[in-house]
């Protein structure tokens, strides 16, 4: 059973009180850099991505730079992030689309973003919420897991989880909550060994009743 809006607001308040300015751990200076970093972060830690992008973003500064990159060389540059062949194709094709359709600029629109190669709703919402200052909920594995444990959703589907959270949480808290859930899932509410004794949401956790 999905909790009431008041329950979700209380959970949001407690989480943001504990983490009042939650920010992504990916390092970026522009919407383009965040877009590339999120694509590279699939099945990879943010720390590893940050190591790779430190030099990558010095070499490739515009969408056209990525779009015209030598594929073989680019694959090796991002190899530490894993799945580097697929990621290289996605990044280069995405930037070709940006250069051809948007004059190299990243669109601030979820529909346009999700038409780009390698970009799903999670990536689009991360970019909108953190690079453009919009209100958006990005559902990654951490957001999905923590939301289910807290009883904020019962769904396994990312888009449905996004809709469930949007329906319960005030719009002006969407991005902050999304970021806070990501950090909470990494640092406290881990998949295998959650640190329940350190959890600021321990009293609110529905998962404890079933475990």
Q: What is the C-alpha to C-alpha distance for residues 106 and 86, in angstroms, rounded to an integer?
A: 21
65 included as an active-site residue: no
Write down the catalytic residue from 17, 54, 70, 140.
Answer: 140
State the chain's maximal CA–CA distance in angstroms. Answer: 54
Nearest to 152 by CA among 135, 169, 138: 169
Active-site residue identified among 21, 54, 122, 164 = 122
Q: Which residues contact 180 (CB under 8 A, 6 or more apart)?
A: 15, 16, 19, 22
Dihedral of the CA atoms 45, 58, 29, 89 (nearest 10)?
-60
- Catalytic, 122? Answer yes
Q: If DSSP codes are grouped into helix, strand and coil, which group holds residue 185?
A: helix
Q: What six digits make up the tokens of 97?
A: 């689309």
Residues serving a catalytic function are 122, 140
């Amino acid at each position: 059973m999905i909790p009431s809006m008041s329950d979700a607001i209380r959970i949001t308040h407690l989480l943001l009180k504990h983490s009042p300015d939650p920010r992504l751990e990916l390092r970026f200076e522009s919407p383009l850099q965040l877009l590339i970093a999120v694509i590279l972060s699939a099945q990879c830690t943010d720390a590893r991505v940050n190591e790779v992008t430190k030099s990558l973003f010095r070499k490739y500064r515009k969408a056209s730079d990525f779009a015209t990159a030598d594929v073989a060389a680019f694959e090796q540059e991002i190899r530490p992030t894993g799945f580097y062949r697929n990621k290289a194709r996605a990044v280069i094709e995405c930037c070709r689309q940006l250069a051809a359709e948007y004059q190299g600029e990243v669109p601030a629109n979820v529909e346009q973003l999700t038409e780009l190669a390698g970009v799903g709703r999670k990536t689009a919402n991360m970019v909108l919420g953190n690079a453009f200052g919009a209100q958006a909920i990005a559902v990654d594995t951490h957001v999905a897991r923590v939301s289910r444990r807290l009883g904020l959703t019962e769904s396994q589907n990312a888009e449905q989880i996004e809709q469930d959270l949007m329906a319960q949480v005030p719009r002006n808290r969407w991005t902050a909550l999304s970021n806070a859930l990501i950090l909470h899932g990494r640092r406290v509410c881990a998949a295998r060994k959650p640190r329940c004794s350190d959890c600021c949401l321990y009293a609110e956790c529905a998962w404890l009743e079933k475990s």
